[in-house]
Chain A
Amino acid sequence: MSRNEPLLVIDKVSKFYPVGGLFSRTRIAAVSDVSLTMAESGPEILTLAGESGSGKTTLARMVLRLIELSEGRILFNGRDITTIRTREEQMEFMRAVQPIFQNPFEAFNPLKRIDSYLTETANNYSVEGASAEQRINSALELVGLSVSGVRGRYPHELSGGQLQRVSVARALLASPLLLVADEPVSMVDASLRMSIVNLFRELKEKHGVSIIYITHDLATAYYISDRIAIMQRGCIVEIGPVGKVLMEPLHPYAKLLRESLLEPRADAAWNEEITLASIETEEFVRQGCKFAERCESRLPICQTSEPPYSVVDGREVKCWLYAGEGKKAVV
């Protein structure tokens, strides 16, 4: 499946939140000046990774139109989603872009039976020529469940892994082009986690669904995604093919993230200690590179001006080490 235009274009998007009282009012950028394109030629899985507070969920919520953009625009299939006004347009958008949330127990109404939930969703996004029943059936089959298995059951009667699969099935009822999955496996048990992750892989390969996969579990990110964007304090600091970014990260923050990963290996124990950001909000309003305080290879320029993006080895890195004056200083 090839397309002429990218499925999703995020163009210089920022989201600001005001902080402080009446007199010391400033704003922090939860997402600042983020640009990326997704699925330019065929479906892809893009991972957004980074520590908490790095803006990955905020970015995803803007893509889902759950919160408004402060600056910039988002194009979905060539259409600016910030200009959606009517209910019809919104329905059309929601049909194509579906969310999957972290905690399936919070995503479902506990008082509603699962089959009635699915029927309602199927009726909301009706498709000509297929009955709701048939579509529920095929969606559940796709995620490895059956209608008889969920009929008349309430969310609490299913395990976390099963319920998360139901929520994937629910999202598939609208036959979306893009799934936005926010930490979909962090609440699911290790022994069942891979079944969800494998499902995502299959959706992309067999059904042409693109997925924005938000996680801080870099191991599953490596396992399923094509590209990965590492975010820190609202900026994408490194974006590129997952093999390159995770195997040999360039940005100091990406390196730190990679090193902090707890790998289940027999000889894993780390030796050196790391420094944590002590006062977090301060990093948001920092001049220059927002990682500078914690960075080991900091240059004088990092504290005064923000680094530009430079293309290195097939990926984009936002770091002075790889750009202009900084690069000269290193060489």
Chain B
Amino acid sequence: MLKVENLKAYYQTEMYGVSRNVRAVDGVSLELQKNEVYGIAGESSCGKTTLIRTLFGAFDPPLRVVEGTVTYSLDGESVDVTKIQGERLRQIRWKQVSYILQGSMSLLNPVRKIRKTFWDFTRAHEPITDAEKFEAMARNHLNRLGLPAQVLDSYPHQLSGGMKQRVAIALATLFEPKVILADEPTTALDVIVQRGVLQLLKRIQRETQSTLVIVTHDMGIHANIADRVAIMYAGRIVEEGRVKHIFGDPLHPYTKHLIESLPKIGDKSTRTSIPGAPPNLGDPPPGCRFHPRCPYAEPICRRESPHLAAVANDRRVACFLVTTKENAHVS
């Protein structure tokens, strides 16, 4: 469905003759299948939002795609969104690939009723010939998602945060896109509403057999709805695998620590944070980017950067510790 190869997206700035490269996405490769939920996890400023923006083809200077391709196969035709522009990109967006932004509940126009916003969104992609037909379509769509049709008559301020978020999701899925990109879709919501919203996303995904990419720092969300998870650290994917493998048997030291540091109900034993802080992406450390914080770092980790290598079915890890052990095991 979607193939990303060696994608490098940098924020390039030049001020007073000093140029800076912030390597937010630095050599990411991944493949997504039809009808799958793919989670991207990582801390803030690890490049996960930049990655998803690039997947949507939404990059403006200073963000530039330096290298790599993002290829969708839509209706038997392959399209690289990093190469196309203007009208062609607009045709793909929303109808084929839609994007639920972080805090997309605040994108609803505050001075228009939800019906008008639906109208605007629809008209931007398809001419509306029949007002009654449009009304029926909007109502149908909301019904199918289990939202009351009265929301069409409300202004955004009359709705709660969770309802606004669900309306935003309804807007994003109006044309049954084949790929849904969701960036922190539930960050500002509380647990119960969060569950409702995720339930909705999952239901849409299942019904339309689409591909859902969900970016969030909340490991609990990944454990609950994703099929596969990629862990990002400092602009790179450090580990990727099926949910049960990532949570059951994490291989990369960063993933291990991340999962072990999460408190669980029923267990009061002391948890610790990973010492240190994520690196500055303008000047990342050489070699493996995690080595300054890694308790198992070896000399090679400081010199060379590990590749994301397949270690088993559906499992890729970028760590010398794992890959060399694995090689030793094989030979």
- Please, could you name 11 A-B residue pairs with CB atoms under 8 Å apart, sorted by A? A52-B190, A52-B193, A161-B277, A191-B43, A247-B266, A257-B191, A260-B195, A263-B220, A268-B223, A270-B195, A270-B224
Question: A220: which of B161, B193, B263 is its contact (CB, 8 Å)?
Answer: B263
- For residue B194, which residues in chain A have a CB less than 8 angstroms away from its CB? 260, 262
Instruction: Please tell me if the beta carbons of A262 and B220 are within 8 angstroms of each other in the complex.
Output: yes
- State whether A191 touches B273 (Cβ < 8 A): yes
Which A residues touch B274, using CB under 8 A?
A: 191-192
Cα–Cα, bound, A99→B247 (Å): 36
Chain A residues with CB under 8 Å of B224's CB are 262-263, 268-270
B195 partner, pick from A190, A195, A223, A274, beta carbons under 8 A = A274
- Majority-rule SS of B interface residues: helix
Question: Which residues in chain A, 223-269, are within 8 Å of chain B measured between CB atoms?
Answer: 223, 246-247, 256-258, 260-269
Q: Are B43 and A190 in contact (CB under 8 A)?
A: yes
A191-B266 in contact given A51-B191, A198-B272, A263-B220 (Cβ < 8 Å):
no
Partner of A219, one of B44, B244, B246, B265: B265
Closest-CB distance, A58 to chain B (whole angstroms)? 15
Question: A246 to chain B: which residues have CB within 8 Å?
Answer: 265-266
Chain B interface size, as a band, is: 35 or more
Partner of B262, one of A190, A266, A274: A190
CA distance A216 to B297 in the complex (A): 36
Is A189 a contact partner of B191 (Cβ separation < 8 A)? no
B residues adjacent to A (C-beta < 8 A): 43-44, 148, 160-163, 189-196, 198-199, 217-225, 243-248, 257-259, 261-266, 268, 270-274, 277-278
List the A residue with the shortest CB-CB distance to B43: A189
Whether the pair B261, A223 counts as a contact (CB closer than 8 A) is no
**For the complex, what is the distance from the CA of A162 to the CA of B261, rounded to whole Å?**
18
- Residues of A close to B192: CB separation below 8 A: 51, 256-257, 260, 274, 276
Closest to B246 in A: A266
Q: Which residues of A contact B148 (CB under 8 A)?
A: 278
Q: Which of A223, A276, A280 is in CB contact (< 8 Å) with B263?
A: A223
Q: Report if A296 contacts B (CB, 8 A).
A: no
Among B148, B245, B277, the most chain A Cβ lie within 10 Å of the Cβ of B277
